[in-house]
């Protein structure tokens, strides 16, 4: 029984190893390495778009249900072929470039945005031994690469020569740079506890204890997770932080002037970013691919799926932030909280379990209360509405 489970668990790893072994018999070693890289690359290149396509379907279905309607259900059973229909539509659409646009940069931006989105996939541990490149500085790589996304968005917005796009681009720059900081700082506790920057090592640090060793089950872990998740939502420009697009204000923000496949690439990058960020969040705080019975990659995808569902749930519920509130939220609320969180993590390592729990909750409570008191704009005013005859 356990043998079968283990086999299913390692099926992808085994398959790749088998192919490489086979080739190793009659090919020189350097070609085998090249083939290994190619296999991983092709898998990721296929996985990215497929994930994106079905995430759009999932989003439309879930939001449909939230809004008491069916969502797409005409193309194929349960609308399963809808993404393909959308893809065909995107391909056949006319590609429009504004007359005054900077044509080269306008073309480059959608291409450039997909690259970092795909690059992050390299360090995501999809399962036991299924990290494409087991970098020992995996998290650093992730943080570095994910911040590149700003540049293509700004390129696209600037090159469009549209004022809505320009505003959207400016907002993107401000928003993504600001949210990068609390996000990075929210990751630090996980690094401190696992004492490694490699994503796989962080997952392994959360092993055992029937899942209770996951970082989310500690006070600093839950705070870190929530902050990381909020920042991730902001990083991939999803509601309620979708200011760069801001449909009701800026028409479509930075991609107002994009159509057809170029637009689809922006869209693809957004969804792939959402997936990888959720995957990293699951890795850092939810024990990654760890879990009983089921194969490890299924656990990873399950956890990621739930996080994505929460992102979609956000989208179905919340109105958008305003630009200054957004910045204030990052700098005045999330940033101090992450710093306190790092302090707590440090204390956690030196104290006994019970004292650490009580102490952390006390410190967190006080700091939250203080932060709310300091940020009066976040607190709704109480209003009184007289009813007069």
Partner 1 sequence: METTEVLKNTDATQILEINFGPQHPSTHGVFRMTVQLDGEKICGLKPVFGYLHRNHEQIAENLPYAAIMPYTDRLDYVNALANNFGYALTIEKLAGFEVPERAEYIRVIMAELARIVNHITVIGFMLNDLGAFFTPLLYAFRERERILDLFEEITGSRLMNNYFRFGGVKRDLTNENLAAIQKIVSKFPAFLKEFEALLTKNEILCMRCQNIGILSGETATNAGITGPVLRASGVNYDIRKVDGYSIYNRFDFKIPLGEKGDVYDRFYVRVLEIRESLKILEQALTKIPQGEIINKKSLPLLKMPRNFKPPVGEAYGRVESPKGELGFYVVSDGTPQPWRYHVRAPSLINLTVLEEMCLGQKIADAIIILGSIDIVLGETDR
Partner 2 sequence: MNIFGSGVFQGMMVTLKNFLTSYFRKPDEGGIFTVQYPEEREKAIENFRNFPFLVYDGSPEQIRCVACGICERECPPKCIHIEMALDVVGKPARKPTVFDIDYGLCMNCGICEEVCPFDSIFMDHAFEVTAPERQISLVRPKKALLKSNEYFQKIRPTLAAVIDQKRKTAEEKKKAAIQPPATSESK
Contact 120, 275 (CB under 8 A): no
Q: Which of 2, 92, 353, 389 lies at the binding interface for partner 1 (CB under 8 A)? A: 389
Please state the φ and ψ torsions of residue 54, each to the nearest 5 degrees: -80, -20
Binding of residue 164 to partner 1 (CB under 8 A): yes
Q: Tokens in use for 192?
A: 């401190």
Total number of residues binding partner 2 (CB under 8 A)?
17
Longest Cα separation, the chain: 94
Binding of residue 228 to partner 1 (CB under 8 A): no
Q: 174-203: which residues touch partner 1 (CB under 8 A)?
A: none
Instruction: Report the alpha-carbon distance of residue 259 to residue 98 in Å, rounded.
Output: 11
Eight-state DSSP code of residue 33: H
Give the one entry of partner 1, partner 2, none that residue 188 binds, where binding means its C-beta sits below a cut-off of 5 to 8 angstroms depending on kind: none
Instruction: Report the alpha-carbon distance of residue 109 to residue 367 in Å, rounded.
Output: 42
Give the one entry of partner 1, partner 2, none that residue 65 binds, where binding means its C-beta sits below a cut-off of 5 to 8 angstroms depending on kind: partner 2
Instruction: Report the alpha-carbon distance of residue 263 to residue 238 in Å, rounded.
Output: 16
Q: Which of 24, 320, 332, 342 lies at the binding interface for partner 1 (CB under 8 A)? A: 320
Contact 284, 189 (CB under 8 A): no
- Which residue blocks in 77-198 are alpha helix, DSSP H? 82-92, 103-120, 138-146, 150-160, 163-194
Compose the 268-287 pattern: x for residues touching partner 2 by CB under 8 A, - for all others: --------------------
Compose the 58-87 pattern: x for residues touching partner 2 by CB under 8 A, - for all others: ----x--xxxxxx-----------------
Smallest gap from Cβ 189 to partner 1, in A, equals 26
Instruction: Report the alpha-carbon distance of residue 333 to residue 326 in Å, rounded.
Output: 10
Instruction: Report the alpha-carbon distance of residue 132 to residue 45 in Å, rounded.
Output: 12
Stretch that binds partner 1, among 13-21, 47-55, 70-78, 242-250 (CB under 8 A): 242-250
Q: 147-206: which residues touch partner 2 (CB under 8 A)?
A: none
Which CB sits closer to partner 1, 214 or 321?
Answer: 321
Which CB sits closer to partner 1, 118 or 236?
Answer: 236
Q: Which of 38, 195, 351, 377 lies at the binding interface for partner 1 (CB under 8 A)? A: 377
Binding of residue 99 to partner 1 (CB under 8 A): no
Contact 371, 333 (CB under 8 A): yes
Give the one entry of partner 1, partner 2, none that residue 18 binds, where binding means its C-beta sits below a cut-off of 5 to 8 angstroms depending on kind: none
Alpha carbon separation from 170 to 66, 164, 188, 322 (Å, rounded): 32, 10, 28, 14
Alpha carbon separation from 245 to 16, 162, 248, 253, 294 (Å, rounded): 41, 13, 9, 4, 39
Smallest gap from Cβ 239 to partner 2, in A, equals 12
Stretch that binds partner 1, among 125-133, 150-158, 284-292, 378-386 (CB under 8 A): 378-386
Q: Which of 3, 25, 69, 373 lies at the binding interface for partner 1 (CB under 8 A)? A: 69
Which CB sits closer to partner 1, 9 or 245?
Answer: 245
Contact 241, 233 (CB under 8 A): yes
Q: Which of 20, 161, 173, 217 lies at the binding interface for partner 1 (CB under 8 A)? A: 161
| Burial class of residue 25 (count of CB atoms within 10 Å of its CB; 0-12, 13-18, 19+) | exposed
Cβ atoms < 10 Å from Cβ of 342: 17
Instruction: Report the alpha-carbon distance of residue 268 to residue 241 in Å, rounded.
Output: 18
Binding of residue 372 to partner 2 (CB under 8 A): yes
Binding of residue 247 to partner 1 (CB under 8 A): yes
Binding site for partner 1 (CB under 8 A): 63, 66-69, 100, 161-164, 166-167, 171, 239-240, 242, 246-251, 315-325, 377-381, 383-389
Binding site for partner 2 (CB under 8 A): 62, 65-70, 313-314, 316-318, 368, 372, 378-380
């Amino acid at each position: 029984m356990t043998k079968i489970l283990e086999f299913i668990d390692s099926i992808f790893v085994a398959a790749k190893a088998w192919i490489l072994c086979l080739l190793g018999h009659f090919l020189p070693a350097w070609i085998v390495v090249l083939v290994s890289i190619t296999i991983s690359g092709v898998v990721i290149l296929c996985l990215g778009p497929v994930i994106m396509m079905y995430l759009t379907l999932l989003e439309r279905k879930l939001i449909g249900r939230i809004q008491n309607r069916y969502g797409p259900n005409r193309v194929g059973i349960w609308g399963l072929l809808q993404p393909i229909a959308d893809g065909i539509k995107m391909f056949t659409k006319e590609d429009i470039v504004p007359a005054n646009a900077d044509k080269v940069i306008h073309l480059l931006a959608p291409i450039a945005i997909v690259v970092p989105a795909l690059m992050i996939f390299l360090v995501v541990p999809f399962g036991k031994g299924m990290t494409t490149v087991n970098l020992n500085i995996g998290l650093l790589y992730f943080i570095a690469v994910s911040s590149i996304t700003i540049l293509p968005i700004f390129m696209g917005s600037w090159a469009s020569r549209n004022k809505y796009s320009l505003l959207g681009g400016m907002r993107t720059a401000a928003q993504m740079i600001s949210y990068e900081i609390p996000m990075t700082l929210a990751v630090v506790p996980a690094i401190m506890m696992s004492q490694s920057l490699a994503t796989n090592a962080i997952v392994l640090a959360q092993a055992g204890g029937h899942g209770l060793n996951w970082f989310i089950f500690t006070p600093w872990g839950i705070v870190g997770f929530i902050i990381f998740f909020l920042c991730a939502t902001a990083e991939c420009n999803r509601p309620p932080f979708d200011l760069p697009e801001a449909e009701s204000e800026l028409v479509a923000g930075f991609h107002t002037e994009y159509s057809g496949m170029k637009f689809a690439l922006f869209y693809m990058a957004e969804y792939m970013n959402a997936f990888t960020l959720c995957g990293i969040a699951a890795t850092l705080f939810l024990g990654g691919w760890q879990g009983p019975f089921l194969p490890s990659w299924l656990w990873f995808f399950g956890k990621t799926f739930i996080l994505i569902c929460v992102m979609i749930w956000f989208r179905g519920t919340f109105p958008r932030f305003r630009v200054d509130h957004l910045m204030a939220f990052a700098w005045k609320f999330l940033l101090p909280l992450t710093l306190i969180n790092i302090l707590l993590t440090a204390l956690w390592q030196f104290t006994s379990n019970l004292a650490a729990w009580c102490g952390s909750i006390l410190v967190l409570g006080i700091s939250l209360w203080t932060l709310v008191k300091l940020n009066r704009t976040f607190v709704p005013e109480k209003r009184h509405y007289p009813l007069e005859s």
